[in-house]
Structure 1
Amino acid sequence: MNGENADQGEIGKFDRDASAWWDPEGPFAPLHAITPLRLDHIESRIGSLAGLSVVDVGCGGGLLSEPMAARGARVTGIDLAPETLETARLHAHGTGLSIDYREIAAEALAAEAAGRFDVVTCMELLEHVPDPAAVVEACSTLVRPGGAVFFSTINRNARAWLLAVVGAERVLRLLPAGTHDARAFIRPAELARWARRSGLEMNNLTGLHYNPLTRHYFLTDDTRVNYLAHCTRTNP
């Protein structure tokens, strides 16, 4: 396992709640709520996942890996949190889905599986690693030329700090306090620069928002807080 580009405190934070990953009312409830949106967004951009080879970078407990597999994709899920991965394996076994879960860093997998995947997903990971640009580069290496890479992260500005940290963690208690460090949030221009440097072309940015009155998440053109980026590998 190559864990150089990893924060052990972040890994421990998610492993502490490993048994609760699949509790829709637990600490990962927001991820349960947004997974259908993320999944439909991916297929709206590239078409059906059926038959495609996908690697889910920073897969956590498998909340996105499983529904992608259920839609016919051949899914590899990677993460550096061992307890979380065990939860993912057990849940997939219980649902009868075949997913290859591995405890390996994106950079290490890229060294052994360059260009092997049609689609790479990297959701809510970049803001939790010391060197997000290195993860972007690894994701580009993993995808085949012409393949798609999807990132989901949080913009860095006062509004994002107010809504994603103060609002989501301290007021609404949607997430455990301390889930995010606003200093690690990533502006779209930064992500676009890392993508270009790694041979990726950014095709689309889509915002993801939460309405506290209706308690629903929705996609929007407003990328000032949470956003998803769809990129394509352009270089051979």
Structure 2
Amino acid sequence: MTNADPQELAKFSELAHKWWDPESEFRPLHQINPLRLDWIDQFAAIRGKQVVDVGCGGGILAESMARRGATVLGVDLADKPLKVAQLHAMEGGVANLDYRSVSAEDLAAEQAGGFDVVTCMEMLEHVPDPSSIVRACTAMAKPGGWVFFSTLNRNPKSYLFAIVGAEYILKLLPKGTHEFSRFIRPAELARWAREAGLDLQQFKGLEYNPLTRRYWLSGDTSVNYMIACRKPLVS
């Protein structure tokens, strides 16, 4: 069985036409993208690298990595966002970028050790078995390659900020975007990464000020956070 939730795929497909509107429901993704792109590039030096973006959606991160000089494959199982991503890249003349509808597990079986960099951002909390995605991303990475994840912590503060605040009060995201029970504690993600064979390099928090409407990276991983991992040169 495919490790995907049909309701989640449908949810993002319905909003696909808004993906590249920076004032739409995807505004937070547009705002945080420069931060996460620079953070990834700081570790992986992506120019000239083979990169796969797992759960790429409409391609905001994938296209920005291609524009920075990486050769990028974006993969997702939601067809409408993929078509939006393909059209946007074509209209923008981004040549070193391709998209495919394929699961992380199937791509890992097909192209094990095929990528210098693997990114999987804002996806793990939307799938039935996130640990399987972590294993697949690890398998896709070359020895010595980099693997990056981002997700949401599971605690009372994250419920208040990411669901009550972001979806109901500030309306930064559509209601129902996230399901609290699927949020992932950093210790859980770290365990899955280690069990998959990755070396943890850094946790980084992502914070938001609703008054200034500004995002920034910090050491606070209590709500949104990212993790940088490296696949050992020898297993």
TM-score, structure 1 length as denominator?
Answer: 0.97
SS of match in other structure, 1:64: helix
Aligned pairs for 1:160-199 (under 5 A) are: 160-199=158-197
Which residue is equivalent to 2:35?
37
Question: Which ranges in structure 1 are unaligned for 5 or more consecutive residues?
Answer: none
Comparing 22-31 and 37-46, the one that deviates more: 37-46
The yes-or-no answer on 1:55 pairing with 2:74 is no
SS of match in other structure, 2:206: strand
What is the deviation of 1:60? 0.4
Paired-residue identity, %? 58
Which residue is equivalent to 2:93?
96
Which residue is equivalent to 1:142?
140
Which residue is equivalent to 2:120?
122
| Equivalent position amino acid for 1:153 in 2 | T
| Equivalent position amino acid for 1:172 in 2 | L
Which residue is equivalent to 2:61?
64
Choose from 152, 155, 164 the match for 2:153.
155
The yes-or-no answer on 1:28 pairing with 2:37 is no
Q: Distance in 1 between matches of 2:138 and 2:46?
A: 19
- Number of equivalent positions: 233
- 1:64-106 CA-to-partner distances (Å, cap 9, x unmatched) read 0011000100000000000110000000000011211000000
What is the deviation of 1:129? 0.1
What is the deviation of 1:27? 1.1
Which residue is equivalent to 2:218?
220
The yes-or-no answer on 1:77 pairing with 2:60 is no
Q: Distance in 1 between matches of 2:25 and 2:14?
A: 11
Q: CA RMSD in A?
A: 0.8
Structure 1 residue runs of 4 or more that deviate by more than 2 Å after TM superposition: none
